[in-house]
């Protein structure tokens, strides 16, 4: 199986697995217990916290959560005032915003251009006094485009609002602008384990807790932490830092091969220039992406985000950049990274071209 679904999740790095195993076995203590085993587990959690926070803006505090979805829910539901966000955000942002909207908060969902990018002048008109939170992604999980986060965060501050950056896909790959107030991340997108995320909170910013209880995490999150998952997240973050240049060079090579091999019949969805090179979202007129995925059993790739692809509805992101229903249904998302080889990409592109050609032949 050639795995090309890195935006859905990434394979665990061997170094991450090794860092986790002791906490699954003999070091099983509760990090909130006062005895030696508890203190050892707590020390491992604190090392991991520093490793993960090292890729966030300086200062602030970082709370581990059960997922990025929880971190996003916490930031949105724990803040006040109106919310401004973008039409291409993840469901965790859009659905949380709609939920607080039903409870009476003003919610504005801004359109993006055909390149998938927000126009800062249009955003300036919408982000006004009374806005409490502006939320936007660093790297889009479906089309890989990179939003102008620094500019959006400046606009939020000019209006007296906080800025939440959903950095799930960009964390460890691109620098997170240092003027953001809240950052949501997840370990499983950086070769860490599933079931753990984090919310970074700038010093001096306070939000209401989402989960009430023992208050184990400082900025206000309750629940016993899993040292095994924290240690895995920390090791994964450290590797992202150590391997950043090698990972970027490798991705640039894979991107070049994939775009050259797939050729002009496949049109890239979203900006060509402002994008992360581990994502290739493209469409080929007349191709049925769902059939392509089920025909190519040796390839794992997707037609959109893993959460939305089961719904049968065309992707809200592809619709927001102006694709027709049929263009959206003929779109595929290829996600690759550290453990993808050049040979994988060559083979996968060949398989996709052949299967698409077969479909188009039968259609005439
Ligand atoms: N935000 C983005 C951009 C994502 O890609 C994802 C996961 O796909 C999430 C949020 C939610 O992350 P999780 O499902 O790990 O909670």
Give the distance (Å) from ligand 1 centre to CA of residue 179: 22
pLDDT tens figures, 143-175: 999 999 999 999 999 999 999 999 999 999 999
Give the distance (Å) from ligand 1 centre to CA of residue 69: 6
- Using CB atoms within 10 A of its CB, is residue 140 exposed (0-12), middle (13-18) or buried (19+)? buried
With a 6 Å cutoff on the Cβ, whether 142 touches ligand 1 is no
**Nearest CA owner, ligand 1 atom 2:** 168
What's the pLDDT score for residue 215? 87
Give the distance (Å) from ligand 1 centre to CA of residue 7: 9
pLDDT of residue 312 exceeding 90: no
Region of residue 225 (phi > 0: left; psi between -120 and 50: alpha; otherwise: beta): beta
pLDDT tens figures, 237-293: 999 999 999 999 999 999 999 999 998 999 999 999 999 999 999 999 999 999 999
Region of residue 195 (phi > 0: left; psi between -120 and 50: alpha; otherwise: beta): left
What's the pLDDT score for residue 218? 83
307 is catalytic: yes
Considering only CA atoms, which of 311, 100, 269, 90 is closest in space to residue 186?
A: 90
Give the predicted TM-score (pTM) of the model. 0.96
The residues, any chain, with a CB within 8 Å of residue 149's CB and separated by 6 or more, are 136, 138, 163, 165, 176, 177, 180
Vertex 74: Cα angle to 68 and 79 (nearest 5)? 135
With a 6 Å cutoff on the Cβ, whether 169 touches ligand 1 is yes
The average pLDDT across 122-135 equals 96
The average pLDDT across 60-76 equals 98
**Nearest CA owner, ligand 1 atom 5:** 141
pLDDT of residue 23 exceeding 70: yes
pLDDT tens figures, 85-125: 999 999 999 999 999 999 999 999 999 999 999 999 999 99
With a 6 Å cutoff on the Cβ, whether 68 touches ligand 1 is yes
What's the pLDDT score for residue 226? 97
**Nearest CA owner, ligand 1 atom 6:** 168
* Active-site residue, from 56, 165, 284, 307: 307
């Amino acid at each position: 199986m050639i795995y090309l679904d890195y935006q859905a999740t990434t394979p665990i790095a061997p170094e991450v697995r090794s860092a986790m195993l002791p906490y699954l076995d003999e070091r099983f203590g509760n990090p909130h217990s006062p005895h030696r085993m508890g203190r050892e587990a707590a020390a491992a959690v604190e090392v991991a916290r520093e490793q993960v926070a090292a890729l966030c803006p300086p200062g602030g505090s970082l709370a581990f959560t059960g997922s990025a979805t929880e971190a996003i829910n916490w930031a949105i539901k724990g803040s006040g005032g109106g919310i401004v966000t973008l039409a291409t955000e993840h469901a965790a942002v859009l659905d949380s915003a709609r939920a607080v909207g039903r409870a009476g908060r003003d919610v504005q969902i801004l359109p993006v251009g055909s390149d998938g990018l927000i126009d800062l002048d249009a955003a300036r008109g919408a982000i006004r006094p009374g806005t409490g939170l502006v939320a936007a992604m660093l790297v889009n999980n479906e089309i890989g485009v990179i939003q102008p986060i620094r500019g959006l965060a400046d606009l939020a501050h000019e209006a007296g609002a906080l800025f939440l950056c959903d950095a799930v896909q960009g964390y460890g790959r691109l620098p997170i602008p240092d003027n953001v107030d809240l950052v949501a991340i997840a370990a499983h997108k950086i070769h860490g384990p599933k079931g753990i995320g984090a919310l970074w909170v700038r010093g001096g910013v306070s939000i209401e807790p989402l989960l009430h209880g023992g208050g184990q995490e400082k900025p206000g999150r309750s629940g016993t932490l899993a040292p095994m998952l924290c240690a895995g997240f920390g090791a994964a973050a450290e590797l992202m830092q150590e391997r950043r240049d090698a990972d970027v060079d490798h991705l640039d090579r894979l991107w070049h091969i994939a775009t050259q091999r797939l050729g002009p019949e496949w049109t890239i969805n979203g900006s060509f220039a402002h994008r992360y090179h581990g994502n290739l979202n493209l469409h080929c007129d007349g191709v049925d992406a769902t059939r392509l995925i089920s025909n190519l059993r040796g390839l794992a790739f997707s037609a959109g985000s893993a959460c939305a692809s089961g719904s049968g509805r065309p992707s809200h992101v592809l619709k927001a950049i102006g694709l027709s229903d049929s263009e959206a249904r003929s779109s595929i998302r290829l996600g690759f990274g550290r453990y993808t080889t050049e040979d994988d990409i060559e083979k996968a592109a060949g398989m996709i071209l052949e299967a698409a050609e077969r479909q188009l032949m039968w259609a005439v």
